């Protein structure tokens, strides 16, 4: 029998509504248990409260092959904390978490689960190359109009590691492809982190403006993308549901503004 311990990349920010945070923590643990149900391993999951909210640790016990398969699947589906010494250029992080986009002008930082606690830099030159065809646009303008919001998860690829601590990343190809397609279709979108897709759908259904005008796609734990139709705009959706979701981070993807950046 083999036993390993895994710390997940996902975490829950604890706001004044501690009951909500506890409910979300229970949901996360349920999702992990359901994910591992077919792996034939024993699993216990604990939440750990720190200054950044709840994080999660799973202990997995079973036959060596089953444990390794379970670990790899959790890494792919959720993202886990791992030693920087094991990371290398080309590694894919399925859901790297944005960290305060717009707080610096030379790029944006992602939490990729490095055991050192250091965030990885998505540098400005690469942001420009991937998202605005190399145009010399300020980072804050790109991040604003692309709707980047704190803690939302995107797939990224490690592009370099210097001195064992300085990590650089870029968006994975599928994320870049999605952004380009969204610019072309011209529909505004709202990125949300901090609430389930079901809860967002219920809030929209309760509103005459949101009902039938917005579709909800859950992209990860507490991550969702709201796609507006041509009669609706993202800012309007934020102003409509935002007051009831003070615990949720939101950003609006605005294709018309992005097109102007490319002129």
Two tokens, residue 27: 């949901």
| Whole-angstrom distance, CA of residue 146 vs CA of residue 189 | 9
Q: What confidence score (pLDDT) does residue 211 get?
A: 61
251 — pLDDT class (breaks 50, 70, 90): very high
Do the beta carbons of residue 215 and residue 226 sit within 8 Å?
Answer: yes
Length of the chain: 263
Q: Residue 159 pLDDT more than 90?
A: yes
Instruction: Give the helix, strand, coil percentages of the chain, each rounded to 5.
Output: 35, 35, 30
- For residues 92 and 206, the model is more confident at 92
Lowest mean pLDDT among 203-212, 235-244, 254-263: 203-212
Q: What confidence score (pLDDT) does residue 52 get?
A: 67
Q: Residue 79 pLDDT more than 80?
A: yes
Average pLDDT over residues 34-53: 87
Q: What confidence score (pLDDT) does residue 49 get?
A: 85
Q: pLDDT averaged over the chain?
A: 92
Helix (H, G, I), strand (E, B) or coil at 258: helix
Of 31, 29, 27, 118, the closest CA to residue 81 belongs to 118
Average pLDDT over residues 164-192: 96
Q: What confidence score (pLDDT) does residue 130 get?
A: 98
Name all domains of the chain by residue range, CATH numbers in brackets.
Answer: 2-77 (3.30.70), 84-178 (2.40.50.140), 185-261 (3.30.70.250)
| Whole-angstrom distance, CA of residue 150 vs CA of residue 130 | 20
Q: What confidence score (pLDDT) does residue 53 get?
A: 80
| Whole-angstrom distance, CA of residue 13 vs CA of residue 19 | 12
Phi-psi region at 46: left, alpha or beta (left = phi > 0; alpha = psi -120 to 50):
beta
Considering the chain, what percentage of its residues have pLDDT values greater than 90?
Answer: 77
Helix (H, G, I), strand (E, B) or coil at 160: strand
Q: What confidence score (pLDDT) does residue 50 get?
A: 78
Q: What confidence score (pLDDT) does residue 174 get?
A: 97
Q: What confidence score (pLDDT) does residue 112 get?
A: 95
Do the beta carbons of residue 263 and residue 248 sit within 8 Å?
Answer: no
Two tokens, residue 205: 């259904």
Q: What confidence score (pLDDT) does residue 124 get?
A: 97
| Whole-angstrom distance, CA of residue 252 vs CA of residue 4 | 40
Q: What confidence score (pLDDT) does residue 163 get?
A: 79
Lowest mean pLDDT among 35-44, 124-133, 150-159: 35-44
210 — pLDDT class (breaks 50, 70, 90): low
Q: 55 - beta bridge partners?
A: 11, 48
Do the beta carbons of residue 222 and residue 171 sit within 8 Å?
Answer: no
76 — pLDDT class (breaks 50, 70, 90): confident
């Amino acid at each position: 029998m083999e036993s390993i311990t895994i710390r997940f990349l996902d975490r829950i920010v604890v706001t004044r509504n501690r009951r909500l945070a506890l409910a979300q923590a229970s949901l996360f643990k349920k999702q992990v248990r359901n994910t591992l149900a077919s792996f034939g391993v024993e699993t216990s999951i604990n939440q750990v409260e720190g200054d950044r909210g709840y994080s999660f640790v799973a202990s997995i016990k079973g036959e060596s092959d089953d444990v390794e398969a379970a670990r790899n699947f959790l890494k792919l589906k959720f993202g886990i904390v791992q030693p920087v010494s094991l990371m290398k250029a080309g590694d894919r992080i399925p859901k790297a978490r944005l960290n305060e986009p717009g707080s610096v002008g030379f790029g944006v930082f992602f939490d990729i689960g490095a055991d050192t606690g250091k965030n990885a830099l998505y540098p400005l030159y690469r942001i420009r190359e991937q998202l605005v065809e190399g145009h010399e646009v300020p980072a804050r303008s790109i991040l604003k109009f692309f709707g980047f919001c704190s803690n939302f998860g995107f797939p990224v690829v490690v592009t370099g590691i210097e001195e064992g601590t300085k990590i650089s990343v870029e968006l994975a190809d599928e994320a870049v492809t999605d952004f380009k397609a969204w610019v072309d279709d011209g529909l505004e979108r709202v990125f949300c982190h901090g609430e389930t897709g079901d809860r967002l759908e219920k809030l929209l259904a309760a509103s005459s403006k949101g009902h039938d005008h917005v579709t909800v796609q859950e992209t990860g734990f507490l991550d969702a993308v709201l796609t507006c139709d041509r009669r609706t705009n993202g800012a309007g959706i934020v102003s409509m549901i935002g007051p009831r979701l003070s615990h949720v981070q939101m950003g609006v993807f605005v294709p018309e503004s992005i097109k102007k950046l490319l002129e």
